[in-house]
Amino acid sequence: MADIRSLRDAVADLVRSGDTVAMEGFTHLIPFAAAHEIIRQGITDLTLVRMTPDVIYDQLIGAGLVKKLIFSWGGNPGVGSLHRFRDAVENGWPRPLELDEHSHAGMANRYVAGASRLPFAVLRGYRGSDIPDRTDTVSTVVCPFTGEELAAVRAVNPDVTVIHAQQADRQGNVHLWGLTGVQKEAALAADRVLVTVEEIVDELQPRPTGITLPSWAVTAVVPVPDGAHPSYASGYSVRDNDFYQAWDPISRDREAFQTWLKENIHDRSADR
């Protein structure tokens, strides 16, 4: 059963240095507040998993907490590059970043295999691409019925998955709606599941397109209003596109980034 906890305690308990951590949310419901708490607590040597690293991982990478990134598209959506990500890959600053790079279809199926507790998933993918040359998590299998060769991707099973949702009830059942991306799979693939929510409600009202994660499939729930900002929570907020655009000059410059980090993360407490 999920405990309802503070962000500080939940992150300290569930996320550990050296962990493989997935923080999912496809543009929508990205768990920024939890990432900021990881930065404040200096939890490091992380292997991060995410289809679209987005600004959230640019921040963690720039903070020097990440040793490896498993991903499929690393840009600032609608804006351009993730400069902290590029600086780490191209220049090893502030530390070298190992990559395990996939296509979206491959990453989605790695989570599906993880949630299904299968060691791999099968897809029509990667054919003719150079991607498999650079990873040991893409291979092939032969269909035992037709003889056709297909791509196989290795399951991903994070130590902990962090997601943001709109609501939980007091028992820790979680409800999210709108674009729900790959969150169900990412959560069910993990050993521990931390969910930040916009609010705790007395009774969940299932919504169209909504998915419910029952309390017994969640480790901890943390109320964090606006915890997805500058991403958004459908029904609660809109995407702060200005922030995504403002991130470009901040992240281009190491000093500007470090100033931003100090002022906006380290000097702010997680007391919400």
- Residue with smaller CB distance to other proteins, 179 or 200: 179
Q: How far apart are CA 142 and CA 70, in angstroms?
A: 26
What would the x/- binding string for other proteins be over residues 36 to 75, using CB under 8 A? ---------------xx------------------xxxxx
Contact status: 180 vs other proteins (CB under 8 A): yes
Contact status: 59 vs a second copy (CB under 8 A): no
Q: Are 41 and 13 in contact (CB under 8 A)?
A: no
Q: Using CB under 8 A, which of 17, 18, 42, 91 touches other proteins?
A: 91
Residue 119 site contact among a second copy, other proteins, none (CB < 5 to 8 Å, cut-off depends on kind): a second copy
Element (H, E) at 138: strand 138-142
Q: Using CB under 8 A, which of 136, 144, 145, 148 touches other proteins?
A: 148
Element (H, E) at 187: helix 183-189
Q: Using CB under 8 A, which of 42, 95, 119, 127 touches other proteins?
A: 127
Structure tokens at 190: 């993990």
Find, among 72, 129, 144, the residue nearest to 106 by Cα.
Answer: 72
Contact status: 171 vs a second copy (CB under 8 A): no
Contact status: 271 vs a second copy (CB under 8 A): no
Q: How far apart are CA 200 and CA 209, in angstroms?
A: 20
Where residue 127 falls (left for φ over 0; alpha for ψ -120 to 50; beta otherwise) is beta
DSSP β-bridge partners for residue 197: 165, 223
Structure tokens at 73: 């598209």
Q: Give the binding site for other proteins (CB under 8 A).
A: 26-28, 51-52, 71-75, 77-79, 81-82, 85-86, 89-91, 101-105, 108-109, 111-112, 115-118, 123-131, 148-149, 173, 178-182, 184-185, 188, 209, 211-214, 216-217, 232, 234, 238-239, 241-242, 244-245
